[in-house]
Structure 1
Amino acid sequence: MRGKYLPATTTDQRLLDKDQDTDWVHTDPWRVMRIQAEFVEGFGTLAELGPAISVFGSARLKHGSDLYAMGEEVARLLVDAGYAVITGGGPGAMEAANKGAHEAGGTSVGLGIELPFESGLNDYVDLGVNFRYFFVRKTMFVKYAQGYVVLPGGFGTLDELFEALTLAQTQKVTSFPVVLIGRSFWEPMIEWLGTTVLEHGMIAASDVARLQVVDTAAEAVQAIVKENAVIAASRPE
């Protein structure tokens, strides 16, 4: 720096100045450090997790509903199959899956997000991390999971679903099973993808084929286990 760009004070002066303003904590360079810290915390917490499946679904599912019970069951069966269960740590489908994993004696993981209408992790999370940034949280969902099981849900659920499909389509992740539970809920979307979107040349038939649609928790877990066994067998020794 030269001329008018020379600072009037040194970096050490600004660091040690007790009267400095605090606006700097809200600037983009400081946000980069917060983002880095979130990645470090997530990686450090989950690095030794072992095989896991991310379970998604609506935060609006009511306790005692059929879909809530489905979330509990799929988590129990995933634990029986040797997987930890990862959710967004919130209410509804997330709580159901965490509850099923916790009560089955498995590892129940919750990756929470700072939202104005959700507070904290649900009571069934055994291993939890809270995030400020969606994109950091999404990285953890994919990096530490060997597949997705997706219950019916809204924008957040669809966002996670299509994020995984995009990563698979662009080969950022390879051989990543995605299983949707609830034919009556998901098949209209599958039909739209396989007709309108496919016929316009926006996707390939293989993109649609990535999605497996089932009706029961047992079918979902069976599909996950089967595809992961195929993936494991195809890896070079």
Structure 2
Amino acid sequence: MDEIETLRDLDAALASGTSLRGLRIQDLDLTGHEGQLLARSDLEGIVVLGGRLSPELGEHLRLHGALVFPTDPHAPVNAYRASLYQPHELYAGLDSSGYESTPDARAYHWAKDADLHHDAFVTLLRAIHDDSVTDALGEFLGGSPVVGVMGGHALKRDSEAYAGAARLGHRLASAGLVVATGGGPGAMEAANLGALCPSPEAVTEALGRLARIPSFHPSIRDWAQIALDTYDEIVRIPLSDNGVRSVGIPTWFYGHEPPNVFCNGIAKYFSNALREDGLLARSTAGLVILHGAAGTVQEIFQSITPLYYAEEDRALPPLVLVGVDHWSRDVPVWHAIEALGRDRGLGRAVHLVDDVDEAADIVLGHA
């Protein structure tokens, strides 16, 4: 079965002279190909996921054994999308109508309303959406080495800790790693920001601009608008490698956390469980855990489980907690990690350090 995600791929399939049976056509405007498709009868097993097609073509496809998945014109997002989100896409309409009018805010309310009213069709579309995003994320990252950076959403842009997280992200990305975060504000935004910036000077300049709106409280609109303006300035500067440096993986499960924009691509999910598992599983080059609270603690122990059960002779990626006092006193999870790692490979993979430079040294030394 071939996945057809671009019109170029569809043109090639139509011109190949081979049967179209079994194709998966995802999120394409078929109006320019209707004549060719109406002339074909070898359509059994084709699956058409969303996109645009006339009622006539839809009927023709179904009569010849194809399966056409419907769209929902009321849905604020495309359930069958074949690519990751881009920052301006999620925040469309922000400058004219405010945050509540954006696709990002509307998607959260759409999902919440469906849960309240037990709408099975919306639940199905959300599941298809998340599977499509997972597929797009895998294609986007390819075989690139990924380092996950976790941390709390409350970190303010004008703090030294935020600047430190940005420097960490920049150093990791400049060494050839893709920096992946939970895609939210605070420490996550800082790491994505640093990774996206092409130079230390760009990091410093961006930090100065963003500090004028240190938090998304009380106004998500102001917080996001200055970020979008800063993002536009950053991406105007060409990179030598033109590669992926920064990815955000947020969720609409946390409706109070707007997504940060400093990413080459944003994989936003309705399911927090799928989002968490995808983020941690893709962090093949290691994990760095900055200050955080309940959500970050959940990520720590979720990442520890596969390390705990890993085969003893397997080389494990590092898991580095930053902040000795924070993780041993304020949120004392380190003692449990130490106990779990005793006499296991986990014990060699976990580290507790006091600053981001030490964390970067460990990750880059392993890579």
TM more than 0.5? yes
1-structure distance, mates of 2:178, 2:126? 28
1:17-96 aligned within 5 A = 26-27=119-120, 31=123, 34-49=126-141, 50-96=144-190
4+ runs deviating over 6 angstroms? 22-25
2:364 paired residue number: 225
- Would the alpha carbon gap of residues 208 and 186 (structure 1) be closer, same or farther in structure 2, given more than 3 Å must change? farther
1:166-177 aligned within 5 A = 166-171=305-310, 175-177=316-318
Report the alpha carbon displacement of residue 33 of structure 1 after superposing the two structures with TM: 6.1
1-structure distance, mates of 2:351, 2:126? 37
Report the alpha carbon displacement of residue 57 of structure 1 after superposing the two structures with TM: 0.6
Cα deviations by residue, 1:181-237 (Å, 9 ceiling, x for unpaired): 111212332553278xx4xxxx35134553201122221111112233xxxxxxxxx
The SS at the match of 1:212 is strand
1-structure distance, mates of 2:355, 2:267? 29
TM-score w.r.t. the length of structure 1 is 0.74
**8 Å contact kept, 2:150–2:290:** yes
Report the alpha carbon displacement of residue 47 of structure 1 after superposing the two structures with TM: 3.1
2-structure distance, mates of 1:174, 1:142? 17
1-structure distance, mates of 2:298, 2:366? 23
The SS at the match of 2:321 is strand
Greater relative CO (CA pairs within 8 A, separation 6+): 1
Identity of aligned residues (%): 26
- Would the alpha carbon gap of residues 166 and 72 (structure 1) be closer, same or farther in structure 2, given more than 3 Å must change? same
Count of paired positions:
201
Match of 1:183, as an amino acid? V
- Would the alpha carbon gap of residues 191 and 151 (structure 1) be closer, same or farther in structure 2, given more than 3 Å must change? closer
**8 Å contact kept, 2:174–2:195:** no
1:178 to 310, 314, 319: 319
2:275 paired residue number: 137
CA RMSD of aligned residues (A): 3.0
Match of 1:35, as an amino acid? A
- Consecutive unaligned residues of structure 1, counting only runs of 5 or more, are 1-14, 17-21, 229-237
The SS at the match of 1:47 is helix
**8 Å contact kept, 2:153–2:257:** no
2:195 paired residue number: 101
Cα deviations by residue, 1:162-195 (Å, 9 ceiling, x for unpaired): 1000121133996131111111212332553278
Cα deviations by residue, 1:96-140 (Å, 9 ceiling, x for unpaired): 011101113562111111123123x21212210111111111222
1:162 paired residue number: 301
1:193 aligns with 2:336: yes
1:196-207 aligned within 5 A = 198=339, 203-205=340-342, 206=344, 207=346
Which structure: larger Rg? Answer: 2
**8 Å contact kept, 1:168–1:174:** no
- Would the alpha carbon gap of residues 209 and 46 (structure 1) be closer, same or farther in structure 2, given more than 3 Å must change? same
- Consecutive unaligned residues of structure 2, counting only runs of 5 or more, are 1-68, 71-113, 199-238
